[in-house]
Structures are given as structure tokens and as C-alpha cells.
Amino acid sequence: MKLVPLRKKKSWRAGTVTVTVLLTALLSACGGSSDDDDSSVKPPEKNFGALGGKKTLVVHVDGLVMEPLKAALSAHPKLQELGEVLPLRSGGYAGTSSEQQTKALPSWASLVTGTWSVEHGLSTTLPSSGSALKTPTVFDWVKQANPETKTTLVVSTADYFTALRANAEDGDINAVPQCDNDDKCVTSHSREAVVEGTDFILAQYSGLLTQSGKYGLGSEQYKKQLQTVLSDIDGLLTLIAEREALASDESWQIVLVNSYGMDEFGTVSGAQFERNKTGWMLSNIPVSDTVIAAGDESRGVLDHAAIVDVLPTLLAGMDVTQPVGTYAFNGNDLRNPVQLSKLVYDYNLSTYNLVLEWMLYSDDQFAAPVEIYREGKLLASVDATTRRYVDYMIPSGTEGELLPLRYEIRTQGGTAAVQTVVLPPPMLNPSVLNGMVMYYPFLNGKADDVKQVSTFTPWNTTNPGSTWGTSASDLPYKSSTTPSANSALTMDLGVFKQGGFAGYKLNMANADVTMDPSVDAFTIGFWFKTNGVCIGGGSSVLANKDYDSGNNPGLAIGMFGNCELRFNTGGGGGRDELQGFSLTPNEWAYVAVAVDKKNKQLYAYLMDPSAGQQNSQKAMADARVKAIGGTGVGLMGFGDDVTGKYSSNYNFTGIKSYTDLAVWNRLLTLDEVKNIYASRYPISSLLP
């Protein structure tokens, strides 16, 4: 027997109690190979040490798939006592960032870290240098919780040890017998560890994988090796039972597991077919009824548990806990009555929004809220029926550098987490100040033009129907970057019932870019939100004309059924219009319209958090370009049209919100519009 030299040592727990029982002679050395199908290894003399306390045995059996295991259990009563064989999902979720090959190394790493390969970093080959794993392992967790915990790793696959070498070198593994390709050695040292009272034992057998690769799953060689391995494990369980009988305060959690499957020929191909993705667990840990849920037709065979659930389940049984907001695993404790699984994410580089999706399984009475954390801070609390959350407020970062963000979802009795890596949204480009001739940041709940060339006032001066939102939740900006003075103007257009008028009017006086012959092009942009009242007859978002007809002279943005935005220009008895822009109710979007009078082009932009980037352009007839000034009096309605009576005429009672309204005497580029939306900074943040 050889022991791997350890760089530093951590002491074992002191004060062990021993009970000597006369048995057969101590097996003094290991021999043979995984192909050797002699009878089971004889047990050592039992000097039971360290009686009492919570202990754990995990046995990973490579090459053992569910069908042969179930068929063989009747001959092994100790194994039968553990309960039912539970299928485990291997290989992650196809088509998501969690997908990984259903091969030995990444699956072993997922078992010992509780994370998928995208986080633990180990694929099908070991790195040539450095640590193989990027996330903490079971040995890290148990030693961090209690440095006196006694641990043993005994594996017959050398690569499995190499993956955990850093733990051995750091002293997190107290005993590491070398048993390369030698299952009999694994059995011997596993028994020694049980007898000595080791607190945590991770053992691994490879002989069945060797036999299936050489001869196939149906061969006599495979069947004989199976009986040998199961008999050896039976012997370990018998030793544990004897220990527990001697010490009433000693309890073991036992997990037999295989973290990946094989095809019907006994080949480990790494594919995403169900057989390849089916690992299993046989354990005395009482999993919740939610996990078993045999009658739940909405779940597939592999939707009940996953290999990343094993570690958090083990650690919970060892009283190793993690504070809220610091959860490190993709899976969750299988004892929990609420199971959170399939937590995946998608990051949209067009909108810089990150979408989280998950599954939640519970009984019919469950109604507790689900909390969502990012980097340990609570983002939101949603109801129990929610399965999707969009993070619109990704933090800005250094341009071109990837930003890691950890998300955690937590509810009563269930937790899961996922590590994301995103390209962060940009900082606001100072170029947006160029050519800006009017600007309303709505500071301190006031509609004042920073450029002091226009006014913004309600049509209904007696009952304007407006309110000012000043909290972070009222605004589209990042809460950490929002100047405290910024506000959002919300208009209740139903105010027309108290005087006939609704909305606001922008009086541009002599600064009207739509009519000024010296201005070849202009852009109007603003943040916009609707409460979802979107009628077929339409309503005005902005208009410098009587919007009773789109053919009337002037410019308008209308909102129609299903919250469709239309960008309209009229004149000469006709119109040029861009349609089909989708607006998400109750969410802030950035809207911009631009007209190139010189080159006769209409541009429309809508940056929506769900529908994404929408932009288009259209050639304008001469008549529409000449009529772009609308009524020609320098007025433009917001929330209503230039008459202030559109809402009254069409009985529109919706609510519309605006902020950061700006007018430029040039065309904003698509990149500039995208930058305003993506940065989530108000333009006022660039001002002195």
C-alpha cells in the first residue's frame, strides 16, 4: 500500500473509542486488478475507532447502469434496505449552458462539486497543469465546516484522484491510498476507513466499466464482476450496521451512485440520449415525496433529480450550510419538500438583459414567494407560480471584459444557483450630447428644458392628470447610477373626462427642428412605458398634427392594439409609415424617431426589454417631407396629439410614462440609440 504524500497535514479528531472484536486476520496488502473476479475481499480485524457522530459513505460505481443494478439487488439484502434506485440526470440540460458530455470526468466533477461543467471547468480531459476544478469540492466544504473532520478518498481511476489532487495537497483529504485499476484495493481500504471511524469516505470502483467495455453489459464477465462489487459494498454496509449497533449516537448517510450512463452496448459515448444521461443513486437518505412523485406526468424520468443534487444533499446531512445569497450549487437538497431544478440562463447582447428560467416542484398547497439574488443581493421576490425572471439591470463593466455574475433562487425549502458570464452593458457615450437642442431630464419633478429653448406643459392646466415618479423602481435607470433628482412623468389620459383635454404639449417656438430650414435632419428620443391599455383605434405617443388621420400633415407615433407602435408621416393626401413595432406593457423601452429631410428618409427605433431591438427606415415622398412640420405652429403633443383632444375623441383612458426626453438637430446613429438603452444611464449623467 502507498500513501500519496500530502503538502500539509490537518489533525484527525482526537479521543476515539475502540472496541476490539475477534475476527479474521487483517488483510495486510492489496493485490489483483479490476478484472480479477475472485471472491470478495476478506474484512480486516475490527478495531472500531471514533464511535459516534454523523458519518458519510459515498461509493461511485463506474460502469453500473440501472437495469443490471435493479436486477441484482434481490441477492443483496443490505443494499435492498437502502430503498429504491433513483434516476439522476447527467449531462446537464441540452441546448443550455449546462449541457456537458455524459462522460466520466465531467460527470465525476459534477458529483463532487454540485455544479455542471460550465462552472467546475473540467471537460473530458485533464488540464496539463494547475487545478483541474474551478469550484469547491465536497472535501473543501466539509473541511471548511470542521477542520477536524477525518476524510478518505480511495479510487481505482487515477484521473479521478488527479481531479482532486489539489484537495490532497492542501490536506483536505487525510488518507489517499493508491488503488489504480484495483477494485479489491478499494474495498480493503474502504473497510479500513469504516472501521477507523472516518467521518467522510469517498470510494470508487472501475472494474464494471472495464468489463462492459471489453465484453458488453450482457456478458458473464460483467455479471460476475457485478456480484463481486455488490458483495463488497454489502460488506461495507454490514460493518456500518455493526458500528451503529455499538453506538446509539452514530449515524451514517450512505450513497451509492453512478454519475453517468452508457448505451445499450456498454459504451460511454458522451451523447445526450436518455440512456447516456441516466445516472442513478441508491441511498438511505429519505428524499422528499416531491422528488419521488411517480405519478407526476409533467416530469420526465430525468426531471426528478440530477447528479448536481447529490453534493448539497450530502452536505445538508453533515450540517454544512451556506448563508442566503452565497449558495454555490446548481442542484439542491433532495430532502427538501420544494425542489428547484433546471435553473438556466440566456443573455441577450442586443438588450443586455439576462433571462433566468427554472422549474419548481412542490405540493399543491405551496404558495411561498421565490426570491432571486444576484451576487448575494436580493433582486426581486416573485410568486410561487413564476418560472421566469428578466434582469434588466446588468451592471456596467470595463468595455470588452467579461463579467461573472452569480444568481441564486431561493424559496421555502428549496435553493439553486447558477454562475453566468456576460459581456456587460456599456457606459453612456458622450457623443449623445452632440447636436442636442432640447432636453428634459424631468429633474425634481419639473418639466424644465435644460437648453431653455422650449416648454413642456399640460393641455389640461386645471387637471393635468400627471404624477411624478422619483424612486428607483419608477425609473428605467440602474438604481446604483440614478441621480436622485431624476423623475418620470406619468400621464393619466383619462383626465379628458375633466375638461376634454389630456396629455402634454411641447412648445418649441423658434427652435422647432421639424420646420427650421437650416436643420437637415432631427431625432426625438425618450424612455417610454405604457400600462397596457392599447386600443384598436390607437392613441398618440407623440404628434405634431391632428392624428385623427395618419394622412394629415405632420409626424406622429401611434400606439395601437396589442401595444403596436407605428411611426407615421403624412401629407399631400397620403402617408409614409413604419408599422409592427412591439412594445411590452409595464416595462420601460427606449423610443426614437428620426427624419432626414435632406435625403427624404424616416427612421424608427424601439429598444424593448422583451421584444428586443427593432429598427427600420423608409423613403419619404416629397409631400411628406414638406409637411413634416405638422400644423406649423411649433407644437408637439405627448400622450395626446397636437389638439390635446385625441384621447377624448377615441375614449382612450390609458396611462403613459415618459422620461429623459431629448431632441437633436441631427440623426442619431443606431449605435447611439442602442447605447442609450443598453447603458441605462440618463443623459443628465453626462452633464456638469
* Domain locations in the chain as residue ranges: 43-335, 345-422, 436-686
Which overall architecture, per CATH, does domain 345-422 show? Sandwich (2.60)
Low-confidence ranges of the chain (pLDDT < 70): 1-45, 294-295, 478-484
Q: 454496509: which residue's cell?
A: 237
Per-residue pLDDT, 26: 29
* CATH for 43-335, options being 3.40.50.970, 3.40.50.300, 3.40.720.10, 3.30.420.40: 3.40.720.10
Per-residue pLDDT, 357: 95
pLDDT in tens, 177-211: 999 999 999 999 999 999 999 999 999 999 999 99
Per-residue pLDDT, 20: 33
367-374: long-range pairs with CB below 8 Å, 24+: 368/338, 368/411, 368/412, 369/411, 370/409, 370/410, 370/411, 371/409, 371/410, 371/411, 372/407, 372/408, 372/409, 373/324, 373/325, 373/407, 373/408, 373/409, 373/410, 374/405, 374/406, 374/407, 374/408
Is residue 573 left, alpha or beta, with left meaning phi > 0 and alpha meaning psi from -120 to 50? left
pLDDT in tens, 92-135: 998 888 999 999 999 999 999 999 999 999 999 999 888 899 99
SS3 for 24?
coil
Rounded CA-CA distance 488/153 in Å is 61
Per-residue pLDDT, 472: 76
* CATH for 436-686, options being 1.10.287.110, 2.60.120.200, 1.10.645.10, 3.30.70.1290: 2.60.120.200
Per-residue pLDDT, 474: 85
Give the helix/strand (H/E) hosting 78. Answer: helix 77-80
